[in-house]
């Protein structure tokens, strides 16, 4: 692939978003993920799987190994990967939600002009 930091970070960010989105929002192939989510139920794992933002932290942990070359860079890379996954989710979520009505009292931090009066 690529040896550059930017390339590794971009790939790891996309991978973090994709895996997190699969686990939190999709049924998965042959409904494997939805069955896993049901089995997790209301326990800690189930709660984490229901929250994209919480789950992205855990999914970003192994992806950090692809980005951080020195151990002292790992915590920053870990948070940055989770943060990028969250930004990507907000960006793609806004596109998916364009046809849905805007909920009153729910702030849209990234796209305040998208609110309908």
Helices and strands counted in the chain (H then E):
5, 0
Q: What's the gap between Cα 61 and its chain centre?
A: 12
* Residue 109: CB atoms within 10 Å: 6
Structure tokens at 84: 């990028």
Reported as a pLDDT band with limits 50, 70 and 90, residue 107 is: low
- CA angle at 64 for the pair 59 and 66, rounded to the nearest 5°: 120
- Is this prediction's pTM over 0.85? no
Distance (Å, rounded) from C-alpha 56 to C-alpha 89? Answer: 10
Question: How confident is the model over 96-106, as pLDDT tens digits?
Answer: 665 565 556 65
Reported as a pLDDT band with limits 50, 70 and 90, residue 34 is: confident
The average pLDDT across 41-49 equals 83
Query: Residue 37: its pLDDT value, please?
Result: 85
Domains of the chain, by residue range, sit at 5-90
Name the least confident of 15-19, 38-42, 68-72, 77-81. Answer: 38-42
Query: Residue 94: its pLDDT value, please?
Result: 60
- Least Cα distance to 56 among 83, 30, 26 occurs for 83
């Amino acid at each position: 692939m690529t040896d550059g930091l930017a390339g590794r970070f971009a790939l790891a960010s996309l991978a973090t978003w994709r895996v997190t989105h699969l686990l939190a929002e999709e049924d998965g192939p042959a409904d494997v993920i939805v069955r896993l989510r049901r089995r997790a139920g209301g326990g800690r794992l189930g709660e984490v799987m229901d929250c994209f933002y919480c789950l992205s932290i855990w999914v970003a942990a192994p992806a950090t190994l692809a980005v951080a070359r020195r151990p002292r860079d790992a915590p920053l890379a870990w948070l940055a990967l989770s943060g990028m996954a969250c930004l990507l989710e907000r960006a793609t979520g806004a596109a998916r939600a364009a046809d849905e009505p805007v909920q009153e009292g729910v702030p849209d931090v990234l796209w305040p002009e998208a609110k309908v009066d």
